[in-house]
């Protein structure tokens, strides 16, 4: 059954009824387009097989794609990845914020998500809507940037991307224009941090 909802939220004081509805739709197995302090992202629960398949098809992703896990705090992130003391210090210093840190994925995560990869991105966004949704859901969310095939930049204007998603079973958390500047990506899988992409977060931090 097709189910699409366009939820309009205040970017700084999101309405709790809209947050609860988005959480309910995630639990029903849909994916949700959500604003962050950088770009809009597509999120779903890690066990939502259909939502993962819908996002993969929409974005035309392959098995080498780096997914991110959006977490509420560091203790939740620590259940998803393996991190040493140095990595923990870096995450504690930089998060919440506009960073994605790549770390080895925990064996507890569903292998179907990661394909050929053994690592995953960790995000703890500093955005009221993200924080409210994560608190309501009580679980980590699987995420990827809302960037459609053939487009050079992420989608930032809901008036433009809503018509391109409304044929899918999903929800849009519309808080107005997003940013075009993505997160800064830092790989912490090796002996030394490696900057993979300079974005909105200041690195070195």
Residue 101 confidence (pLDDT): 98
Residue 146 lies in a domain: yes
CB atoms within 10 A of CB 71: 24
Could you tell me which residues come within 8 angstroms of residue 160 by beta carbon, excluding any fewer than 6 positions away?
none
Residue 140 lies in a domain: yes
Residue 189 lies in a domain: yes
Strand pairing report for 141-145 and 68-70: antiparallel
Residue 125 to residue 103: CA distance in whole angstroms: 17
Residue 43 to residue 48: CA distance in whole angstroms: 10
**Does residue 32 come out as left (phi exceeding 0), alpha (psi in the -120 to 50 range) or beta?**
beta
Structure tokens at 155: 């989608």
Residue 171 lies in a domain: yes
pLDDT in tens, 36-89: 999 999 999 999 999 999 999 999 999 889 999 999 999 999 999 999 999 999
What CATH number is associated with residue 154? 3.90.870.10
Cβ–Cβ < 8 Å for 22, 170: no
Give the residue numbers spanning the domain of 125: 4-197
For the entire predicted model, the pTM comes to 0.95
Residue 172 confidence (pLDDT): 98
- Model confidence at 119: pLDDT above 70: yes
Total tally of structural domains belonging to the chain: 1
Residue 205 lies in a domain: no
Residue 57 lies in a domain: yes
């Amino acid at each position: 059954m097709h189910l699409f909802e366009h939820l309009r939220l205040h970017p700084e004081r999101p309405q709790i009824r809209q947050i609860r509805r988005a959480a309910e739709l995630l639990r029903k197995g849909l994916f949700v387009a959500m604003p962050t302090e950088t770009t809009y992202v597509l999120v779903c629960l890690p066990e939502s097989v259909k939502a993962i398949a819908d996002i993969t098809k929409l974005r035309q992703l392959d098995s080498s794609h780096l997914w991110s896990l959006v977490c509420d705090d560091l203790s939740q992130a620590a259940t998803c990845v393996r991190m040493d003391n140095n990595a923990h210090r870096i995450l504690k210093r930089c998060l919440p914020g506009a960073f994605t840190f790549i770390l080895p994925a925990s064996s507890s995560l569903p292998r179907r998500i990661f394909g050929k990869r053994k690592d995953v991105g960790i995000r703890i966004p500093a955005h009221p809507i993200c924080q409210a949704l994560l608190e309501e859901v009580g679980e980590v969310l699987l995420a990827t940037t809302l960037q459609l095939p053939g487009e050079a930049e992420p989608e930032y204007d809901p008036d433009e991307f809503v018509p391109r998603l409304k044929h899918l079973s999903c929800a849009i958390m519309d808080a107005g224009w997003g940013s075009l500047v993505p997160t800064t990506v830092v790989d912490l899988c090796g002996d030394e941090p490696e900057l993979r992409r300079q974005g909105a977060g200041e690195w070195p931090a």
